[in-house]
């Protein structure tokens, strides 16, 4: 199965893909390391619920596509309880991805129902706690990051916030949090845009 999702990642515009089981959680992932297993498990749960709800209204539904400014999430239930989802750039090759998902679904029909988990389950830790005076600022920083990175911003932000808070979640260290987030953003233009949006919030 790892080879199957690696083939999905090879499609132009696909950042990575995951395989999620409603019974045993995250099975495989080739997304960048910033996407932690516990967070991807949460995403998988939500996408599985959306697909189930969608079939209640449209029995022939195949794929679920969530379009955002900076990314697209494509999900498909390969068989009951087993969902694959891919995170893509807006310019991804939709036809090629659909064809690859069709092939993957065909392959699974000949495989046993049980799949080996990729590793032990990890409990979700949630966002790092911050003081009451900083909580509104941190929340706003997270919301502004979503304007830059799209739907995966929340996952990225919480992971960076956890690391930042280990050294102390103080107002004086907010610039360090911004700097850490900028490293994850990567793109100079997007970094400049995020710094412009967040500059007023650093005056706390």
**CA–CA separation, 57 and 203 (whole Å):** 49
Q: Which of 80, 72, 83, 99 is nearest to 8 (CA)?
A: 99
**CA–CA separation, 138 and 133 (whole Å):** 10
**CA–CA separation, 141 and 144 (whole Å):** 5
Instruction: Name the packing angle between helices 188-198 and 135-149 (round to 10°).
Output: 150
Report pLDDT digits (tens) over 118-172.
443 333 444 555 566 778 888 888 889 888 887 677 778 888 888 888 888 888 8
Residue 79's pLDDT is 83
pLDDT exceeds 90 at position 114: no
Domain spans in the chain, listed from the N-terminal domain onward: 2-108, 135-202
- Specify the CATH number of the domain 2-108: 3.30.450.30
pLDDT exceeds 60 at position 113: no
CA distances from 41 to 20, 29, 145 (A): 7, 10, 21
**CA–CA separation, 155 and 26 (whole Å):** 16
Residue 86's pLDDT is 93
Take residue 165 and report the two structure tokens written for it. Answer: 């808070």
- pTM for the whole thing? 0.53
The answer to whether the CB of 72 falls within 8 A of the CB of 90 is: yes
Report pLDDT digits (tens) over 50-105.
888 887 777 778 888 888 878 899 999 888 888 999 999 988 988 899 889 988 88
Mean pLDDT of 11-31: 90
Take residue 190 and report the two structure tokens written for it. Answer: 């997007």
Q: What is the number of alpha carbons within 13 Å of residue 78 lying toward its C-beta?
A: 29
Residue 112's pLDDT is 53
Residue 110's pLDDT is 59
Other CB atoms closer than 10 Å to residue 183's CB: what's the count? 10
Q: What is the largest CA-CA distance in the chain?
A: 60
Phi-psi region of 187 (alpha: psi -120 to 50; beta: other; left: phi over 0): beta
Residue 17's pLDDT is 93
DSSP β-bridge partners for residue 25: 21
**CA–CA separation, 26 and 126 (whole Å):** 17
Mean pLDDT of 174-201: 89
Q: What are phi and psi of 198, to 5 degrees?
A: -90, -15
């Amino acid at each position: 199965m790892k080879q199957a999702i690696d083939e999905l990642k090879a499609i132009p515009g696909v950042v990575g893909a995951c395989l999620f089981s409603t019974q045993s959680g995250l099975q495989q992932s080739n997304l960048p390391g910033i996407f932690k297993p516990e967070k991807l498990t949460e995403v998988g749960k939500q996408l599985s619920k959306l697909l189930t709800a969608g079939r209640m209204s449209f029995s022939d539904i195949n794929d679920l596509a969530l379009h955002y400014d900076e990314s697209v999430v494509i999900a498909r239930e390969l068989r009951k309880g087993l969902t694959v989802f891919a995170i893509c750039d807006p310019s991804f090759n939709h036809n090629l991805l659909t064809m690859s998902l069709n092939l993957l679904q065909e392959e699974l029909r000949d495989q046993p129902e049980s799949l080996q988990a990729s590793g032990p389950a990890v409990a979700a830790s949630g966002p790092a706690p911050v003081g009451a005076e900083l909580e509104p600022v941190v929340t706003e920083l997270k919301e502004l990051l979503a304007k830059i990175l799209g739907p995966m911003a929340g996952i990225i932000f919480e992971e960076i916030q956890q690391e930042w808070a280990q050294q102390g979640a103080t107002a004086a260290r907010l610039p360090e949090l911004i700097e850490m987030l900028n490293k994850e953003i990567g793109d100079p233009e997007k970094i400049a845009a995020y710094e412009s949006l967040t500059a007023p919030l650093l005056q706390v």
